Amino acid sequence: MKRKIYNDLLEWKNTKEFKPLIVLGVRQCGKTYIIDEFCKNEFKNYKRVNLLYDVDVVNLYASSDSSEKKYNDLKVLLDFDFDKEDSVLFIDEIQESENLISELKFFNEMHSNVRIICAGSLLGVKLARLTKPFPVGKVSRLYMYPMDFEEFLIANSQELLLSKIKDCYSKNEPMGVLHNKAIDYYRRYLLSGGMPESVKALVDCGDDYYNYDITKLNSIIEDYKNDMNNHIANSVETLKIRNIYNSLSSQLQNVSKKFQYSLVETGAKSREYSSPLNWLVESSMVQMCRCVKIPEKPLLGFVDNDVFKVYYSDVGLFNRLVNNDIKTILLDDMKVYKGIITENYVANQLKSNGIDLLYWKGARDSEVDFLISTTDDGIIPIEVKAEEHTQSKSLKVYNDLYNPKYMIRISLKDFGFANNIKSVPLYAVFCINTKTN
């Protein structure tokens, strides 16, 4: 399936400044597949090594030999001369060797002609908790997320519909009779989410979505929970991580919407749960949205670090975790969960576009769901509605206080522009970016 990160990989290949590349992302979002495809397609000589199985490589870099000797021995061990022109080495599961991660600095400084791509399970957690020096400034990073709605449409061979959505977004023109078709695909996306295995299972159903194998998502959730057990030595921390993960649906339903440690466990304090929460963020299993009190550039300079919301990394997994079945989702009967699932979906789409997740909270319970800092239009507030009903006091309060160039309202309504508000249908969130909207 086509992934947009492929273009980022091409950009890395064609850059003049050679640095080892680290690809980060939640488990099972398709990192290994797309890197493997890219290396096969774009290089003449390619070798993949998986450190879960190639323990000799791990042992080599655990030795006290010099960096140059390890470098040369690695070629012999792999029977691959990655110094050759048009060659690439893909090191998968690199989290198994802190020493090799640290040695990426040597690769960059002494053999900058070499192309190396690294990825791994829970690699973000490993990099945040390294005991060896990290090669700061000597590596490039790319972040990969579950498939967004644009990639979902491509997987479903809906390129013509995709083109129409993009055109209507840029011109603020309604989709007309095509609006309902796009909404239908949006609801299918809520069912599968963006995990490639889940999307493929949905595509394989043809038009018979009631036969979609929903157990694909159950398996991913179980794998996540196993990661919590298998990659954390402290059983107490494991329990706290699981408790946080399981609490997020009730956290988002809370009137304040902000994350509260007391909702994880009665009497829980931030000092006890901040590390387990950070583990979930670093693993990319969840996405944090931080509160901004003053919407001015740079937005990150006005963040209140004590006030934030936490979303699941994939809306399909969210629906499974709250036991929404196929009929409930496709018939739009999610009831109490509809609003927070919609908001979670929007958060996922914005994050996939490289947008920092931030929101604004003002006086008298006024709150705008998301803020984005654009290149040409300044700070733009975004409000999310799960229905066609779009009235909002908070957006008016924000407009009166800060007079933005325009505002964005995301809902089930068709495209349009009125009263300084750009109406964006839920299926078009992927079009929102930090350039010109």
One digit per residue, the tens of pLDDT, for the chain of length 437 reads 899 999 999 999 999 878 999 999 999 999 999 999 999 999 999 999 999 999 999 999 999 999 999 999 999 999 999 999 999 999 999 999 999 999 999 999 999 999 999 999 899 999 999 999 999 999 999 999 999 999 999 999 999 999 999 999 999 999 999 999 999 999 999 999 999 999 999 999 988 888 899 889 999 999 999 888 877 768 888 999 999 999 998 888 887 778 999 889 888 888 889 999 999 999 999 999 999 999 999 999 999 999 999 999 999 999 999 999 999 999 999 888 999 999 999 999 999 999 999 999 988 788 999 999 999 999 999 999 998 877 778 999 999 999 999 999 999 999 999 999 999 999 999 999 987 55
**Under CATH, what is the fold of the domain 5-144?**
Rossmann fold (3.40.50)
Q: What is the pLDDT of residue 436?
A: 56
Count of Cβ atoms closer than 10 Å to residue 258 Cβ: 20
CA dihedral 55→58→59→64, nearest 10 degrees, is 170
* CA–CA gap between residue 149 and residue 152 (Å, rounded): 5
* CA–CA gap between residue 52 and residue 63 (Å, rounded): 18
Q: Which tokens sit at 194?
A: 């963006």
* Beta strand 378-384 pairing with 407-411: parallel
Q: What pTM was computed for the model?
A: 0.95
Count of Cβ atoms closer than 10 Å to residue 305 Cβ: 7
**For the chain, what are the domain ranges?**
5-144, 215-431
DSSP state string for 342-353: HHHHHHHHHHHT
Sheet holding 358-361, edge to edge: 303-312, 286-292, 358-361, 367-368
Q: Are the beta carbons of 135 and 105 closer than 8 angstroms?
A: yes
Count of Cβ atoms closer than 10 Å to residue 255 Cβ: 6
Q: What is the pLDDT of residue 437?
A: 53
Minimal CA–CA distance to 379: which of 350, 403, 343?
Answer: 403
Minimal CA–CA distance to 83: which of 66, 71, 94?
Answer: 71
